[in-house]
Amino acid sequence: MASTPEGKVKAAIRKELTQRGIWHYIAAAGPYSVHGIPDIVCVWHGRALYIEVKAPGKRAGTTANQKRMLRHIADAGGIACVVDSVDQLLEILSEGPDQTARDPFDFEGA
Classify 5-94 by CATH class. Answer: alpha beta
Q: State pLDDT tens for residues 1-42.
A: 468 999 999 999 999 999 999 999 998 878 888 889 999 999
- Cα 77 from Cα 71, distance rounded (Å): 10
Axis-axis angle for helices 5-19, 86-94 (nearest 10): 30
**CB burial of residue 37 (10 Å; 0-12, 13-18, 19+):** middle
User: What residue spans define the domains of the chain?
Assistant: 5-94
**pLDDT given for residue 81 in this prediction:** 92
